Amino acid sequence: MNLLEDEVGRMFLIESSENLDLFDQDLLVLEKSGDSPEAVTRVFRAIHTIKGGASFLGLGKIESLAHAGENLLGRLRDGQMSCTREVAGALFAMGDALRECLANLQTIASEGETDTSALVATLKALEAGAAGAQDASATPAATAPVANSAAVSEPASAVVSEPSPPPTVSHPAPAPEMPAPAVVRATEGNVAAAVAPNIETTIRIDVEVLDKLLNLIGELVLARNQILQCTMTEDLVTLPAASQRLNLVTSELQQHTMKARMQPIDTIWSKYPRVIRDLSQRTGKQIRLEVAGAETELDRTIIEAIKDPLMHLIRNSADHGLELPDTRVEKGKVAQGCISLRAFHQGGQVNIEISDDGRGIDPERIKATAIQRGFITPDQASRISDRDAVNLIFLPGFSTAEKVTNISGRGVGMDVVKTNIERIGGAIDIRSKLGTGTTFSIKIPLTLAIIPALITSCAGDRYAIPQVNLQELVRIEGAKCKTAVEYVYGAPVYRLRGKLLPLIYLRKELALDEPGVVLPEATSLEIVIVQAGDHPFGLVVDSVLDTEEIVVKPLGNYLKGLSSFAGATIMGDGKVALILDVLGLAQRARVLSDVRDRAAQAAAAVSKGSQTSLLLLAAPDGGQLAVPLSTVARLEEFPVDRIERSGGTECIQYRGDILPLIKLSAALPERRTGARAVSAFVDPNIKSISVVVYSGLEHPIGIVVHEIIDIYDGPVEVRRGKGREGSVGTAIIQERITELLSLDEVIRLGQAQRHAAEEA
């Protein structure tokens, strides 16, 4: 019987998997408390539901196993016995066996050949009170579940371990030895991995979100019909309005579709308490799990991509990080170690931290192991920093484990963790203090489907740079092009605000120029400052075109080995643009090498005093203005013809929203007269406007400025106090007198001016 071909069967598999996840969580609560009527009721209900569905579908093995567990839980529910570690271990083993049966139903369309009669007999013996209390190390909870706990969300490729032997539990009663069904067909981690592919192709969507999507699809159809009508009748007057309507509906549809794909990270974190419980009993360590930010939402594709790396990091923290209780007490720590998970949104990314309060990573031991295994030479070991030494654990085959266990020790895993995280545009960093603990910090994008990107061109082709990697843009013109680029140890660098940044010429790195062709001398230099992990560098391109939200398309199988590209996208004109992999480019060009790092560090200018980040602006009268960079969300440039008027206010359509515009020079009173400048909103002679998008309000506001000059990082000493409204003082910055502005005040003045004009 293939349940996947039947709707009732598919629902049974999905709901049974969800019930088993809840079963694990509540059974952990019950095991700790020993007596929790609410937890017992929920566990009983989960197994009863599985038994009923199996009976209806004629799944005899699942039915008999769940029925034996239900009878045992009935005794717990009626208060006739308590949940001892032996009872909990048998129930966990039952849950693992049920998972294996569900996996078999999806892979081979049957419940499998594993004999569960011994487990059923053990459950019945415990239910009858025939089984006596046993030592914790002999229970299934102490021996079996670690492999299966990894199976909850860890495929075998993430951690390669030798097959776990089928553990047994002996009882005084004549019941036979009980095999651990979840690990008898298989290497560690295969059980739930077989369940995942089909079950995780479904997702639950709130009815309200679904209704909104359906309404938007209706609006999309109407907009399409209107555009088709305009095209057929050549109605060029109505066409722009119809196109704008289509743009708004599409943006809103995209927003709600992405919302429907978002899931809390707790969908995978909820499995970890069971994993920690099993690891604790396998390693003999006392482990407490702390979780913060479980409600943080990510795209479901991202969740799928990170669940295996997270599982390996947790196992690594338990096996390598935390010490045994006696050792911790000797060091003055509490006997129980702690592994903490934390997730939060920051800067358009999701940050995940996995921390432990264990022994920390010893860089000297890492160096010694790396020398012993031939990864580095003794000379290299003497020159690398402790930070670089710690990062050697990400090398394939690297391990400091003294012996191989089913948990770790084969040197396979940490390299896979790093590769999988970087594959989705993320980065991983390690902070460790010997004797105190270790923290793994992961930064990943919210989604992989649609991302904002900067479109650049080079040698006639277009390339997209994900905005998550983008820091700023630098344009150098005229004679400065010849002196702007310096060379340190033969490597090109650019001095940006006192710091030297390595440069990569995209033309050279991608070999875009034909051999023997001499290019004319450049009259300008376009540098895109990007970030690869913790290392910023400059990417030199021919020109910067625009920012767009692009749909990411994966590369074909023949191109997947190209480390310089992360995918492709189709532009508005139907042509393909490649998406650059910033980290891959950095590694290929060796900008992260020791030579360039040392050169940059040696030549970096050290600023003294309190550091302040300011955005420098040019005033129409030739003066220089500055605003705090912390209040700036984005810097944009818009064509003048995109400006519209609504309710007496100039505005522009921006990322599916309406962005009100305030002209900086019109909002500020003139210095001498105290009156505000009276002029048209936009000079009719210019084609585009520079806009600073303010980030301090719930809805963004755009401030139209005369010209954006630079970003300044350094000390600021206010020489004169507040002058006109909107000003907070005057300072000397880059040898120029600069007026410091408050964007809050500028916006207040601009809104007050608009209200006064409306009343007049």
Chunked mean pLDDT (size 10), the chain, 760 residues: 68 84 86 81 88 85 89 86 86 90 84 86 81 40 36 32 34 36 35 38 74 87 88 83 86 79 85 88 90 87 85 88 92 93 79 92 89 84 84 78 52 72 81 91 79 88 87 85 77 81 88 69 85 81 88 74 81 86 80 48 39 84 87 85 84 82 84 54 81 77 89 80 78 88 85 71
Asked if CATH classification 1.20.120.160 holds for the domain at 3-165+177-199, the reply, yes or no, is: yes
Instruction: Locate 717 and state its tokens.
Output: 């000493």
Contact yes or no for 648/757 (Cβ under 8 A) = yes
CATH number for the domain whose boundaries are 451-603:
2.40.50.180
Q: How far, rounded to the nearest angstrom, does the alpha carbon of residue 98 sit from its chain's CA centroid?
A: 32
Domain boundaries, the chain: 3-165+177-199, 207-263, 265-445, 451-603, 612-759
Alpha-helical regions (H) of 156-271: 191-199, 207-233, 239-261, 266-269
Distances (CA, A) of 576 to 17, 461, 552, 571, 641: 41, 9, 11, 6, 27
Report the sign of the C-alpha dihedral through residues 116, 119, 123, 129, in that order.
positive
pTM more than 0.75: no
CA atoms within 13 A on the CB side of 221: 6
Q: Tokens 């369940």 correspond to what residue?
A: 195
Contact yes or no for 384/364 (Cβ under 8 A) = no
Instruction: Locate 532 and state its tokens.
Output: 């690869």
The Cα 289–Cα 25 span in angstroms is 13
Report the sign of the C-alpha dihedral through residues 64, 66, 69, 73, in that order.
negative
CATH class of 612-759: mainly beta
Please list, in sequence order, all residues whose beta carbon lies within 8 angstroms of the beta carbon of residue 627, skipping any fewer than 6 positions away: 614, 615, 617, 692, 740, 741, 742, 743
First to last CA, the chain: 79
Same fold, 451-603 and 612-759: yes
Q: Tokens 């007198």 correspond to what residue?
A: 737
- Residue type at 236 in one-letter notation: L
Maximum separation of any 2 CA atoms in the chain, in Å? 102
Q: How many other CB atoms sit within 10 Å of the CB of residue 165?
A: 13
> What pLDDT is attached to residue 700?
81
CATH class of 265-445: alpha beta
Host H or E run for residue 137: none
> What pLDDT is attached to residue 144?
37
Please list, in sequence order, all residues whose beta carbon lies within 8 angstroms of the beta carbon of residue 98, skipping any fewer than 6 positions away: 16, 20, 50, 62, 65, 66
Host H or E run for residue 755: helix 743-759
Please list, in sequence order, all residues whose beta carbon lies within 8 angstroms of the beta carbon of residue 195, skipping any fewer than 6 positions away: 13, 17, 99, 102, 103, 106
Fill in the DSSP letter of residue 640: G
Three-state secondary structure call for residue 587: helix
The Cα 468–Cα 752 span in angstroms is 36
